[in-house]
Chain A
Amino acid sequence: MASSNPGSMFIAGGTDLVPNLKRRQFDVAALISLNALPRMRLIDGDGNGGLTIGAGATLDELAHHPALDGPYRALAQACDLVSTPQVRCMGTLGGNLLVDPRCNYYNQTYSWRKAVGFCLKKDGDICLVARSSPRCWAVSSSDSAPVALALNASVTLHGVGGARRVRAHELYKDDGIDYTTKRADEVITSVDVPATEGRMTSAYWKLRRRPAFDFPILGVAVALNWDDGMVRAARGALGAVGSRPVDITALLEPLTGRRPDDALIAEVAEAAGKPARPLDNTDLSHYWRKRMTRVYIERALREACGLDPQAGRLSAQVKAATS
């Protein structure tokens, strides 16, 4: 249907798409609903053996699902932190993974955008954040996307050419407009989280102005594999610091083979915050968001290590500086 209806879009929960339609960020000829597809809401698997989650499972279902209470807990945390309870009852995992990247100059009404001057992402030819930039810097604003990277998840895409499986890392492109490798005729049908080898813990931390509402202006997802009290492998990703989720797995490498303590976690978090390059195009100052990146990495790592998340050294520095 999508290939025979150019200009059409898929709709599942509609919580991102419908507001964008109303603000005329999207012009569509037709909407194609995914809600009648079979097995879209199925959640299959258990705490350790891997999970297959139908892309139509709602964020509310995932936030409270027993299969996400163990090693995959970061995914439940991320789903539970999306927007409001009402939006979580409607919004789906597939939709959240593909949230249209956001920008202060783009997520505005048509009249506002017209008054300020249209931007590259819709109707204009320059980026209002970085005027000389040839590309769009809209921000990846998905809570579940960094978790998908940290859990090493894959998505199954179905399109006219058949089905294919893509690692979460390869689902995203570093561009605010052309942000996904999913083709226009393809639909995410399921999200597959691999089985854990041995004990695994995970955590997600989110920064935003209003804890009951907003899109992330920073998200940190980490997953740690354990071997007898020592970290065997560490994975992590940052959300909302660029046009795609940023993999920080290589920077968490110093944790492997060690028993993480206050000092090691602070040192690793400090280094792992470096790839975050927030621009001045979302809520709060980009200086603050950059600064909080290492603090939130520390909190997520501490939580995954079973330590008090906010009792770390980088948190103490922030408290000292702001009191």
Chain B
Amino acid sequence: MSIADKVVVRLRVNGEDTAIMVPPYKTLLEVLREDLGLTGTKHGCELGECSTCGVLVDGKPFLSCLAMPLDLEGREVTTIEGMARGREPHPLQVAFAELGAAQCGYCTPAMLLTAKALLAREPRPSREMIKEALSGVLCRCTGYLKIFEAVELAASRGGDG
């Protein structure tokens, strides 16, 4: 890949502005993992079916495997690396850890970010609302129940904080 095939992409990721040279056909998932070193965002089906690559764009759940970075200039991308405040984990991360709401951990970043988007919109969601919000994120270790309980625990402690 020669430099002539690359374009400048300006992204705002986790509150930091960044400009990188990448081939224009790379997806946001690939740019985050390969060019920005943010490997917390996971690579799953690549077809928008499993949501494990989920990030937030302007606070809403987005599938990074389907998103083209050039289209996201001027928008705010949040990955799992941007969820903690400094050294302090986000209340959702604390609740997930306390209740063991992760098994293999592969879906966990997307579960956490999707739950964060839900709590920002709906600080005290019902169980049905949690199920609906997380319905696109597939967990193959069978762990949904603990995840629902962890979201409820975080909500009871003040939600998105």
Residues of A within 8 A of B (CB): 11, 13-15, 18-19, 22-23, 31, 33, 35, 60, 83-87, 89-90, 212-213
Contact = CB atoms under 8 A, between A and B. Distances in A.
Contact of A19 (B66, B114, B136): B66
Interface in B53-69: 54, 57, 60-63, 65-68
B60 A89 contact: yes
Given A18-B66, A19-B46, A85-B135, 15 more contacts: A14-B71, A18-B27, A18-B48, A18-B65, A19-B47, A19-B48, A19-B66, A33-B68, A35-B71, A85-B132, A85-B133, A87-B63, A89-B57, A89-B62, A213-B135
Contacts of B47: 19, 22-23
Nearest to A31: B68
Contact of A86 (B46, B62, B68, B70): B62
B68 A15 contact: no
Nearest to B118: A85
Scoring A11, A14, A33 by chain B CB atoms within 10 A of each residue's CB, the highest score goes to A14
What's the dominant secondary structure at chain A's contact region?
mixed
A14 B135 contact: no
Nearest to A21: B25
B135 A15 contact: no
Contacts of A15: 48, 63, 66
Chain B interface category by residue count:
20 to 34
B51 interface: yes
Contacts of B132: 85, 212
Contacts of A22: 46-47
Contacts of A18: 27, 48, 65-66, 68
22 contacts: A13-B66, A15-B48, A18-B27, A18-B65, A22-B46, A22-B47, A33-B70, A33-B71, A60-B60, A85-B135, A86-B54, A86-B61, A86-B63, A86-B114, A87-B136, A89-B57, A89-B60, A89-B61, A89-B62, A90-B66, A213-B135, A213-B136
Contacts of A33: 68, 70-71
B48 A87 contact: yes
A113 to B, nearest CB: 15
Contacts of B48: 15, 18-19, 83, 86-87
Contacts of B137: 86
A310 to B, nearest CB: 19
Scoring A22, A23, A33, A89 by chain B CB atoms within 10 A of each residue's CB, the highest score goes to A89
B107 to A, nearest CB: 12
B136 A14 contact: no
Contacts of B136: 83-87, 212-213
Scoring A13, A14, A60, A84 by chain B CB atoms within 10 A of each residue's CB, the highest score goes to A84
Contacts of B68: 11, 14, 18, 31, 33
Contacts of B61: 85-86, 89
Contacts of B60: 60, 89
Contacts of A31: 68
A212 B70 CA distance: 30
A-B pairs, 10 with minimum CB distance: A84-B136, A212-B135, A19-B47, A18-B66, A86-B136, A89-B60, A86-B61, A14-B66, A86-B51, A35-B71
